[in-house]
Amino acid sequence: MPPPNPSSNDVAAIDDVGVVTPAFSPLYQQIKGLILQSLQAGDWKPGEAIPSEMELAARYRVSQGTVRKAIDELAADNLVVRRQGKGTFVATHAEQHVQYRFLKLIPDTGDSSAEGPAQRTVIECKRSRASAEVARLLALRSGDSVLQVRRILSFSGTPTILEDLWLPGQAFKGLTAEQMAQYHGATYAMFELDFGVRMVRAEEKLKAVLPDETQAALLQVTPQTPLLSVERVAYTYNDTPMELRRGLYRTDTHHYRNELN
């Protein structure tokens, strides 16, 4: 099938499987959608270069400026990375500056590099059936297979984060506790490398809570210690939820840091 041919007259763009981008969307948004579909389909893997602006302009039969504006938005969304003199590359969680994009707990000293990466202890990794709440948050059906993981993240030998994760069973078939514990890079980098699942954005809810006795024991604190509860739903392309994560954070030596632009 020939490539779609959106025009400056707001003609609807049609992708290779017949999905129509609404005719009222600006042309660069149509091109952004087409590039996003190629990313979702895995035409260009994380870390790989995408075609040049000139090549994409020829493919979609639009101006180079239109392609540049589309890529600018993808770069602002952290989906691609521009490298001066080298081109534009699919963003990957394996890159050092991306690894900590989703981990906002910073030591009070402000120097994350001094304490090094978190030491992970996987307490549990099992297959289970999604509860109604987990199914709703992961856009599954109640009773669908999920992988449930509980782990502790320690910094400088001190248990600092207790996490419970739920992952869609079909997408993460074969994931084991050993794999979770032994991978030395970012967990999201492992997800994209071994399972082809790239987390592109997340929504979080924060509140202060007290731990139960089991949680307090795992974090080596008293049940009267206030903790920061962080619930995250992480999404891959097309706003498909791929992870529910509930973490309890100690904040006696760390703080949660967020940047607002």
Q: Per-residue pLDDT tens for 149-195? A: 999 999 889 999 999 999 999 999 999 988 888 887 788 888 988 89
Domains and their CATH numbers in the chain: 13-90 (1.10.10.10), 104-256 (3.40.1410.10)
Residue 43 has pLDDT above 50, yes or no: yes
Are the CB atoms for 33 and 88 separated by under 8 Å? no
Question: What is the predicted pLDDT for the residue at 191?
Answer: 92
Question: What is the predicted pLDDT for the residue at 77?
Answer: 81
Q: Which range in 15-19, 128-132, 254-258 is most confidently predicted, on average pLDDT?
A: 128-132
Rounded to whole angstroms, the Cα distance separating 259 from 261 reads: 7
Give 115's pLDDT tier (boundaries 50, 70, 90). Answer: low
DSSP symbol at 76:
H
Sign of CA dihedral 110, 199, 79, 50: positive
Picking from 69, 75, 77, the residue whose alpha carbon sits closest to that of residue 88 is 75
Angle between helices 53-60 and 27-41 (to 10 degrees): 100
| Region class of 112: left (phi > 0), else alpha (psi between -120 and 50), else beta | alpha
Mean pLDDT of 95-109: 64
Give 148's pLDDT tier (boundaries 50, 70, 90). Answer: very high
Q: Whole-model pTM?
A: 0.74
Rounded to whole angstroms, the Cα distance separating 172 from 196 reads: 9
Mean pLDDT of 233-257: 92
DSSP symbol at 238:
G
Residue 14 has pLDDT above 60, yes or no: no
Q: What is the mean pLDDT of the chain?
A: 84
- What residues pair up with 240 in beta bridges, in sequence order? 236
* Interior angle at CA 158, CA 152 and CA 160, nearest 5: 50
Question: What is the predicted pLDDT for the residue at 4?
Answer: 52
* Interior angle at CA 30, CA 26 and CA 36, nearest 5: 140
Question: How many helices and strands in the chain, by DSSP H and E?
Answer: 9, 12
Q: Per-residue pLDDT tens for 26-39? A: 898 899 989 988 88
Picking from 22, 15, 18, the residue whose alpha carbon sits closest to that of residue 36 is 15
Q: Is 121 strand, coil or helix?
A: strand
> Side chain identity at 261, as an amino acid letter?
N
Residue 131 has pLDDT above 90, yes or no: yes
Looking at the chain, the whole-number percentage of residues with pLDDT higher than 70 is 84
Residue 117 has pLDDT above 50, yes or no: yes
Give 234's pLDDT tier (boundaries 50, 70, 90). Answer: very high
Give 260's pLDDT tier (boundaries 50, 70, 90). Answer: low
Looking at the chain, the whole-number percentage of residues with pLDDT higher than 90 is 49
Tokens of 9: 């007259």
Are the CB atoms for 35 and 74 separated by under 8 Å? yes
Question: What is the predicted pLDDT for the residue at 23?
Answer: 52
Containing H/E element for 83? strand 80-83
